[in-house]
């Protein structure tokens, strides 16, 4: 039994008035329920806060809510206390009693749990407010504009009432009762929305192709098969705001004349799957899915299809093959899925981030989203900022924000005072950009023009201790494993590039190998069947372009300046710095470190030396020496 339109509007008004404003409640404690925080005792923290509220007699005064990911993953678990908007980081279950006592009972701020800079000093705070959607008052959030992540860290993702209270399904009212198919597509066109899965194809155009395609049966697919190393934007969105994806899919269904949707999501994302299952059940029970939605006469259902974790199934034709029960392998295009897709019927495939934008576009109008971003890249983009950066986590910024702003202002700069070396955008298909590109505005065209790509939104920061040749080898190793092997350019090309990179990192490289790498990479880009093969060589080609001197060092000098390529390393002991403590000798698995027979003048003990002919190059001596006597040479 679901809502009628009038009942929904009345219900939303009631829930909006109650949202974080229940009679008798003085405080609301929001705890991060994303995967990262859950794996770091987040569930125990949530339970401890509830237990303490009861123990201190405040259970009727405080509401404790498990939300989705706050985004500030570097410092989780996160707790936010309203109405003061106090924001606590690295919270442990044993902190629960103090939070309830100091913050709730006494009304004071618990300063020891506030975010602090690496030197231990508090970060200057932006003005505080009490609104439930207020961004935390620290620098990590101040340049962010949350559209896709608008409900993450704000609502309980397992409660449809909280989604409705926060304007959920508001845009769907227009879609079902006021807008024609043409009007929906017109608003999508006005928004300038381009697909966030990596290709950046205009969303309205894809929908319009499917709308015009002949046939009574059409399908909508949500691609939640996020598989880039270091990327977790889509997974976190499903965990924190599953109804936004459902609403986006219903809207897409109405736009093209489809009555059936599928969410293709990795089985290895159990929390996202669990919350999506809850959301689908609640949407069905409340009349947002099924027959005659809200009395509009429009029918739409959604089913979940679990993927086995194949990276290539992120490609739309391979994904379709997998849903149909076949091996996930790309098929030639044309025909494109909008004309012949799932079971040969017209099909549109959008990723999670694209679909999560749709409810905002329908509620506020396409012009609202188009006011953000650049001329050709509208709206915002979510990135998983990881690597050698102070503040890693999920970041959502308007298109056109520079790499420098994200890495050094939002991300807080490079860890441990090290020097910035490069940033890779676009996952294993993206290039590595150097310092000269830090002021590049982030949009589809600028990144591509500079040898990288937007991709789905991975952003991995590297410092001077990273070896770009080894990074290129790592990503090519990943692509070799994930290639379906259907087409020769990808199957053979990835393997050949990997062998050449391994040859170079093992100290056997030749200068001609650089030209071979470049030539094979360009051939793969032109001849591979799908985007995996077409872009797999990007990390290699971009590092040859931007870091050719390091490739030459590996080949000519047999040296890895970052010390990552073990077979190019050798270790020695500085006899002046060595105090003869013997720790390196005890740790050495190859028994190649021995003590000199004589004690030099001024020394209490004889220093140790390394027999290079026996050295395994494991680095145990370098890692364990507290006096920096062991050096890489």
CATH number (domain holding residue 134): 3.40.30.10
Helices 512-527 and 488-505 cross at an angle (nearest 10°) of: 160
At residue 128, does pLDDT exceed 80?
Answer: no
472 plus 457 within the same structural domain: no
Q: Are residues 237 and 164 in the same domain?
A: yes
Domain termination residue (choose one: 413, 443, 463): 463
Last-in-domain residue among 557, 583, 613: 557
612 plus 476 within the same structural domain: no
In sign, the C-alpha dihedral spanning 439, 444, 450, 454 is positive
For 617, the domain range is 570-632
Same domain, 207 and 250: yes
- Per-residue pLDDT, 130: 42
Q: Is residue 563 part of a domain?
A: no
Q: Is residue 266 part of a domain?
A: yes
Please, what is the Cα angle at 261 between 255 and 264, to 5 degrees?
Answer: 130
Confidence of residue 428 (pLDDT cuts 50, 70, 90): confident
Phi/psi at 558 (nearest 5 deg)? 55, 45
pTM of the entire predicted model: 0.92
Please check whether residues 410 and 305 belong to one and the same domain. no
Whether residue 617 is predicted with pLDDT greater than 70 in this model: the reply is yes
Q: Do the domain assignments include residue 154?
A: no
Same domain for 334 and 208: yes
Cα gap 246→335, rounded to integer Å: 27
pLDDT digits (tens, 9 = 90+) for 290-300: 999 999 999 99
Pair (166, 299) in one structural domain: yes
Residue 145 lies in a domain: no
**Are 512 and 387 found together in one domain?**
no
Together in a domain, 196 and 330: yes
Least confident range from 193-207, 231-245, 448-462: namely 448-462
CATH classification of the domain holding 591 = 3.30.70.20
- Assigned domain for 280 exists: yes
| pLDDT tens digit sequence for 380-425 | 999 999 999 999 999 999 999 999 999 999 999 999 999 999 999 8
Domain edge (last residue) among 439, 463, 487: 463
Instruction: Please report whether residue 599 resides in a domain.
Output: yes
Q: What's the CA gap between 321 and 144, in Å, rounded?
A: 38
Does residue 565 belong to any structural domain of this protein?
no
Examine the domain organization and report whether 200 and 308 are in the same domain: yes
Q: Could you give the number of structural domains in the chain?
A: 5
Burial of 361 (0-12, 13-18, 19+ CB in 10 A): buried
Look at residue 83 and tell me if it is in a domain.
Answer: yes
**Whether residues 415 and 484 fall in one domain:** no
Residue 391, φ and ψ in degrees, nearest 5: -115, 90
Instruction: Indicate whether 426 and 314 sit together in one domain.
Output: no
């Amino acid at each position: 039994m679901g809502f009628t339109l009038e009942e929904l509007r009345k219900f939303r008004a009631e829930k909006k008035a109650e949202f974080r404003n229940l009679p008798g409640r003085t405080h609301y404690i929001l705890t991060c329920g994303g995967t990262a925080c859950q794996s770091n005792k987040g569930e125990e923290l949530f339970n401890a806060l509830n237990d303490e509220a009861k123990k201190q007699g405040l259970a009727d005064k405080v509401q404790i809510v498990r939300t989705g990911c706050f985004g500030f993953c570097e410092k989780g678990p996160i707790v936010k206390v309203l109405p003061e908007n106090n924001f606590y980081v690295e919270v442990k279950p044993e902190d629960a009693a103090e939070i309830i006592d100091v913050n709730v009972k006494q009304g004071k701020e618990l300063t020891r749990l506030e975010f602090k800079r690496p030197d231990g000093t508090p970060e200057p705070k932006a003005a505080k407010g009490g609104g439930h959607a207020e961004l935390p008052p620290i620098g990590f959030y101040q340049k962010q504009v949350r559209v896709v992540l608008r409900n993450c860290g704000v609502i309980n993702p397992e409660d449809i009432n909280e989604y409705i209270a926060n304007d959920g399904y508001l845009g769907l009212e227009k879609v079902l009762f006021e807008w024609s198919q043409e009007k929906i597509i017109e608003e999508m066109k006005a928004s300038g929305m381009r697909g966030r899965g990596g290709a950046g194809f205009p969303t309205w155009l894809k929908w319009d192709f499917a709308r015009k395609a002949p046939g009574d049966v059409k399908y909508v697919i949500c691609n939640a098969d996020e598989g880039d190393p270091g990327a977790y934007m889509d997974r976190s969105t499903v965990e924190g705001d599953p109804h936004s994806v459902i609403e986006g899919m219903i809207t897409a269904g109405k736009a093209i004349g489809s009555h059936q949707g599928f969410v293709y999501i990795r089985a290895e994302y159990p929390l996202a799957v669990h919350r999506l299952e809850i959301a689908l059940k609640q949407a069905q029970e409340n009349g947002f899915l099924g027959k005659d939605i809200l009395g509009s006469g429009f029918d739409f259902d959604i089913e979940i299809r679990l993927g086995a974790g194949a990276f290539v199934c992120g490609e739309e034709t391979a994904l379709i093959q997998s849903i149909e029960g076949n091996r996930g392998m790309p098929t030639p295009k044309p025909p494109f899925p909008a004309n012949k897709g799932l079971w040969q019927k017209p099909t549109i495939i959008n990723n999670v981030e694209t679909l999560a934008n749709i409810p905002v576009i329908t509620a506020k109008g396409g012009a609202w989203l188009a006011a953000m971003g650049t001329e050709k890249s509208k709206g915002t983009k979510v990135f998983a900022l990881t690597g050698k950066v102070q503040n890693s986590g999920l970041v959502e910024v308007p298109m056109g924000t520079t790499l420098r702003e994200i890495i050094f202002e939002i991300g807080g700069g490079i860890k441990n005072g090290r020097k910035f070396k490069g940033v890779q955008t676009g996952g294993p298909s993206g290039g590595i950009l150097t310092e000269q590109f830090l002021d590049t505005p982030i949009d589809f065209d600028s990144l591509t023009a500079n040898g990288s790509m937007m991709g789905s939104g991975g952003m991995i920061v590297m410092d001077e201790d990273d070896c770009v040749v080894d990074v290129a080898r790592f990503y090519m190793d990943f692509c070799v494993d994930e290639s379906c092997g259907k087409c020769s350019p990808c199957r053979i090309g990835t393997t050949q590039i990997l062998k050449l990179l391994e040859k170079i990192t093992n100290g056997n490289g030749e200068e001609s190998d650089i030209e071979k790498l470049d030539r094979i990479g360009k051939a793969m880009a032109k001849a591979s069947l799908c985007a995996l093969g077409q872009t797999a060589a990007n990390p290699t080609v971009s590092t040859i372009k931007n870091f050719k001197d390091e490739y030459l060092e590996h080949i000519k000098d047999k040296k890895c300046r970052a010390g990552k390529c073990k077979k190019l390393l050798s270790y020695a002991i500085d006899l002046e710095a060595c105090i003869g403590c013997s720790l390196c000798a005890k740790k050495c698995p190859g028994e190649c470190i021995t003590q000199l027979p004589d004690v030099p003048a001024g020394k209490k003990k004889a220093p140790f030396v390394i027999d290079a002919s026996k050295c395994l190059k494991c680095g145990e001596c370098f890692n364990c020496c507290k006096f920096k006597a062991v050096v890489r040479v």
